[in-house]
Amino acid sequence: MAVLRDRPYVQFNFLVELEPGKSDGAEAGFQECSGIGMEVTVAEYRNGNEKENSVRKITGLNKSSDVTLKRGVIGSLNLYKWLDEIRNGNQNAYKTVMIHLQNEDHSAIVQSWKLLRARIIKHTSGPMNAKGTDVAMEELVLSYERLEME
């Protein structure tokens, strides 16, 4: 699905699907999405009788970084209900989350990131300021077990 071109795509044309095919519109609309990433750890090992004076790098575990999503408060409780299921121990509450980058005219998805077995681990609302004119924001942090790119 990734679409290669010489000029990089801009970052402000993206979609977040909290359950692919099941979410749409404002309840899944976010202003910012950051922190998508993964790493593969390595373990260093060396036999005591090695002739070469260097360590071997042995591939270890895969780690995925947490993703932060920010949006304006719209009065929807769907994300809170998801978090409530998770904190109450519902193992079926984990979801697949898709993040799609679109081209400039929104006619095609040029790259996608799939977060497998995602769950909300943090929810923050605010700040609230009676003298300010900013939009009331909420922030979600998602933890997930595996990242796949398409």
123-133 pLDDT tens trace? 999 899 999 89
Q: Within 10 A of 129 (CB to CB), how many other CB atoms are there?
A: 9
Domain extents in the chain: 14-38+65-149
Q: Tell me how far apart the alpha carbons of residues 18 and 139 are, in angstroms, rounded to a whole number.
A: 15
| Topology classification of domain 14-38+65-149 | Pnp Oxidase; Chain A (2.30.110)
Q: Tell me how far apart the alpha carbons of residues 105 and 110 are, in angstroms, rounded to a whole number.
A: 11
The first and second tokens of residue 107, run together, are 């006619």
Q: Tell me how far apart the alpha carbons of residues 13 and 104 are, in angstroms, rounded to a whole number.
A: 7
pTM: 0.86
pLDDT digits (tens, 9 = 90+) for 32-49: 999 999 999 999 999 999
Residues ≥6 apart with Cβ < 8 Å to 20: 96, 98
60 pLDDT higher than 60: yes
